[in-house]
């Protein structure tokens, strides 16, 4: 089953803040139109990004999807085009085994840099990024048996099955 979920309140308190009302009221990703490829990610609180600044934005989301799929995280094109905001890693790649990992439950983050000349404010509940699910293929001779042993940036720290 492919879906977005909120991280647990315990993870939310750790990564964002101890505020049950904020937790209960933030918006899960959704598509804007019938033909939209991406699921919009919405700001949990107001976000202010000064010129030249890099900020890390906790989404409050985790995603569950099939093992032959990946989730691409990208900026909304309007923010890049109008304000020169970009992801510091250009495109985020989330694999299915990131979901509910031991380190952070699969909590996804955006790292955004403002390369423009003006401060940019993304208001609470406004979309700033998108997630796009894709299928991927593997080679016929692929025989990887390693498993994920952590959260963000952990695929180089794995154990053999």
Task: Tell me the C-alpha distance between 118 and 120, whole Å.
Answer: 6
- The answer to whether residue 150 scores a pLDDT higher than 50 is yes
Chain CA centroid to CA 74, Å? 9
Q: Which CATH number do you get for residue 62?
A: 2.70.40.10
CB-based burial label for 87 (10 Å; 0-12, 13-18, 19+): middle
pTM: 0.88
Banded model confidence at residue 151, pLDDT cuts 50, 70, 90: low
Q: Which residue has the tokens 């180089």?
A: 156
Domain extent for 80? 3-159
Task: Encode pLDDT of 96-117 as tens digits.
Answer: 999 999 999 999 999 999 999 9
- Mean of the per-residue pLDDT values of the chain: 93
Of the candidates 64, 77, 6, the one whose C-alpha atom is nearest the C-alpha of residue 36 is 77
Task: Encode pLDDT of 33-86 as tens digits.
Answer: 999 999 999 999 999 999 999 999 999 999 999 999 999 999 999 999 999 999
CB-based burial label for 57 (10 Å; 0-12, 13-18, 19+): buried
If one counts the domains in the chain, the total is 1
- The answer to whether residue 11 scores a pLDDT higher than 90 is yes
């Amino acid at each position: 089953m492919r879906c977005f979920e909120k991280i647990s309140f315990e993870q939310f308190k750790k990564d964002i803040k101890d505020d049950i009302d904020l937790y209960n009221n933030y918006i899960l990703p959704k598509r804007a139109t019938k033909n939209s490829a991406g699921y919009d990610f919405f700001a949990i609180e107001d976000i202010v990004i000064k010129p030249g600044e890099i900020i890390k934005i906790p989404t409050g989301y985790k995603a569950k999807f099939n093992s032959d799929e990946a989730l691409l995280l990208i900026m909304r094109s309007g923010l890049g085009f109008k304000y020169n905001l970009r992801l510091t890693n250009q495109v985020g790649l989330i694999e299915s085994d990131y979901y509910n990992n031991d380190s952070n439950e699969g909590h996804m983050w955006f790292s955004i840099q403002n390369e423009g000349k003006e401060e940019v404010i993304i208001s609470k509940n406004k979309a700033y990024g998108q997630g796009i699910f894709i299928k991927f293929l593997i080679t016929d001779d692929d025989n990887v048996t390693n498993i994920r042993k952590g959260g963000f940036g952990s695929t180089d720290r794995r154990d053999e099955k």
